[in-house]
Structure formats: structure tokens, C-alpha cells
């Protein structure tokens, strides 16, 4: 079986075009805008959002990139995966990305008292 050389990722916050961490995606392929299934919520964590699964979820808007594994490592580091701030796992998207293996970073900490961002951050 051939080794997977890239991963599709859904970004919804500071990694999007025009935001603070977008430079980490330099040289990676942007596949376009995307919308999740209505199973998630975004909460305002200050200078970035946190995505969580939510019983009364919304369709979250973001962008999908095809990234190589070197970039994926940089993104995991920036998202604090080792520090257990976020976990990267599969997310359900609509339209052309439906049923594709796309990952996103999910916030692992409490959201009580945080502002709900609606379907898009900021």
C-alpha cells in the first residue's frame, strides 16, 4: 500500500487567508472554501477560535488545504497538539468535500462563558 504523502485539512481561524498563522501554509495547495455539516460550534478564545462538536451545531465556514506531512507537523505544533490544547481529527464537510478524509483541529478545553462566534470567525 503506498504511503499517503499529504492530508486535507479544514482551517477556520488564524490559519485562514489574511490571518496571523496563514504563513504556516505557504507552499501548500488551497482547494477552496468549505462548509461543515451543522454539528459544530466556534468559540472565541481571544486571538483565535476553538472548534467543538455541539448538539445544537452550526455550519462552520472555512478553507480546505492539501498539506504535506512536514507542514502538518508545523500546524500541529502551532495548534498546541502536544500541549493538549487541540486534537487533530476528521471533520464532516458538505458539497465536494463530503465523505473525504479531511481533518481539523478541535479545542479540548472548556468553553463555558466564551463568546459563540456563530458560523465564522472572527
Q: What is the pTM of this model?
A: 0.95
First and final CA of the chain: distance in angstroms? 41
Q: Which of 53, 77, 79, 96 is catalytic?
A: 79
Cell 451545531 locates to 57
70 catalytic, yes or no? Answer: no
Q: Where are the domains of the chain?
A: 6-107
Question: Model confidence over 55-103: pLDDT tens digits?
Answer: 999 999 999 999 999 999 999 999 999 999 999 999 999 999 999 999 9
User: Is the confidence at residue 2, as pLDDT, over 80?
Assistant: no
Q: Which CATH class is domain 6-107?
A: alpha beta
Q: What is the pLDDT of residue 1?
A: 45
Query: DSSP class of residue 1?
Result: -
Q: Which 3-state string (H, E, C) describes 50-79?
A: EEEECCCCECCEEEEEEEEHHHHHHHHHHC
Q: For the chain, give the mean pLDDT.
A: 96
In terms of DSSP H, where are the helices of the chain? 69-78
Amino acid at each position: 500500500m503506498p504511503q499517503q504523502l499529504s492530508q486535507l485539512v479544514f482551517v477556520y481561524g488564524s490559519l485562514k487567508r489574511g490571518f496571523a498563522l496563514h504563513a504556516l501554509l505557504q507552499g501548500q495547495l488551497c482547494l477552496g472554501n468549505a462548509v461543515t455539516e451543522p454539528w459544530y460550534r466556534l468559540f472565541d478564545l481571544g486571538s483565535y477560535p476553538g472548534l467543538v462538536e455541539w448538539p445544537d451545531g452550526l455550519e462552520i465556514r472555512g478553507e480546505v488545504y492539501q498539506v504535506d506531512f512536514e507542514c502538518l507537523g508545523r500546524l500541529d505544533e502551532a495548534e498546541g497538539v502536544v500541549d493538549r490544547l487541540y486534537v487533530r481529527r476528521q471533520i464532516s464537510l458538505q458539497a465536494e468535500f463530503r465523505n473525504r478524509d479531511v481533518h481539523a483541529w478541535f479545542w479540548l478545553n472548556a468553553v463555558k462563558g466564551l463568546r459563540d462566534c456563530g458560523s465564522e470567525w472572527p
